[in-house]
Amino acid sequence: MTSLANLESALGYRFNDQAFLDQALTHRSHNARHNERFEFLGDSVLNFVVAALLFDRFPKVDEGDLSRLRANLVKQSSLAEIAQSLHLSNFLRLGEGELKSGGFRRPSILADALEAIFGAVFLDGGFDAAQSVVSRLYAPLLAKVDPKTLGKDPKTLLQELLQGRKLDLPQYTVVATRGAAHSQMFDVECAVPKLDLKVSASGTSRRAAEQLAATEIIALIQAMGPAKGGSRRARKNTQLSLPVAVPQENK
């Protein structure tokens, strides 16, 4: 096992009592002194610290959007990504069954252990220590947050993009369904007539196919470059900066 000191360096925190860190890394399959109570505590310290970070960073963003941003930052896949950057799987203590089935790679186990570490830092060093560890680990993610788009699904993004350009809503049409009832595939077309765009996409549900089609249309619109004409009068709050940057005219 790699030395815990490496993990502490990556966290930017040295534990006074190593037992807290040990327990945070212990899955319930390994030992009765496992990390689930720490995870309860860590989840809530994480939620609060990320709330405070977002509150400071986006003074004009309303509470509904702040909630959406936070949900995206603290969701399992975001946590698992941070856990991977810390090489957390090298430090986990799992039971034999979990070890054999590759539990150390499971996003849920990684995310839970990372939350447990936040709880352990709070128990060991108090709130300021926990806040500083969470802030440090979240700094790269936070720097990339675009409050207008993060956590929104492609259909919503496309709708807002078109509204920002004073264009009609996109038209979605199911053009075919294939396969048996339990494994159906849906073929969907998405059209934006004013821009002369039409794409098709397939998915295991109508919604999934529509989201995929919306993603493709967004990419096409972005490739076309900035909007012309009417969009100059678009209201500020419907302006959209998309994940792939588009030069913004009205700033």
What is the β-pairing status of strands 185-192 and 197-203?
antiparallel
Instruction: Identify which of residues 109 and 213 has a Cβ nearer to its own copies in the complex.
Output: 109
Classify 126 in phi/psi space as left (phi over 0), alpha (psi -120 to 50) or beta: left
Task: State the catalytic residue, choosing from 115, 124, 160, 210.
Answer: 115
Q: Which is nearer to its own copies, 63 or 96 (CB)?
A: 63
Nearer to its own copies, 50 or 209 (CB): 50
Q: State which residue, 91 or 118, has the beta carbon closest to its own copies.
A: 118
- 3-class DSSP assignment, residue 67: helix
Q: From CA 233, how far away is CA 251, in angstroms rounded? A: 12
Least Å distance, CB 129 to its own copies, is 12
Intra-chain end-to-end CA distance of the chain, in Å:
52
Least distance between its own copies and beta carbon 238 (Å): 20
Helices 4-11 + 107-144 axis angle, to 10: 30
H-type alpha helices, 204-244 = 206-223
- The answer to whether the annotation marks 39 as part of a ligand binding site is yes
Q: Shortest gap between Cβ of 37 and its own copies (angstroms)?
A: 5
Is 168 marked within a binding site?
no
> Which of 17, 22, 43, 187 is the catalytic position?
43
Is 115 noted as a catalytic residue in this protein?
yes
- Contacts (Cβ under 8 Å, ≥6 apart) of 170: 158, 159, 162, 190, 191, 192, 214, 217
Instruction: Output the CA–CA distances (angstroms, integers) from residue 51 to 45, 73, 174, 228, in the order listed.
Output: 10, 10, 40, 37
Provide the strand spans (E) within the chain: 171-178, 185-192, 197-203
Q: CB of residue 41 vs its own copies: minimum separation in angstroms?
A: 5
Interface with its own copies (CB under 8 A): 36-37, 39-41, 43-45, 47-48, 51-52, 55, 62-63, 66-67, 122, 127-128, 131
| Annotated binding-site positions for Mg(2+) | 39, 112, 115
Which sequence positions are flagged as catalytic?
43, 115
| Annotated binding-site positions | 39, 112, 115
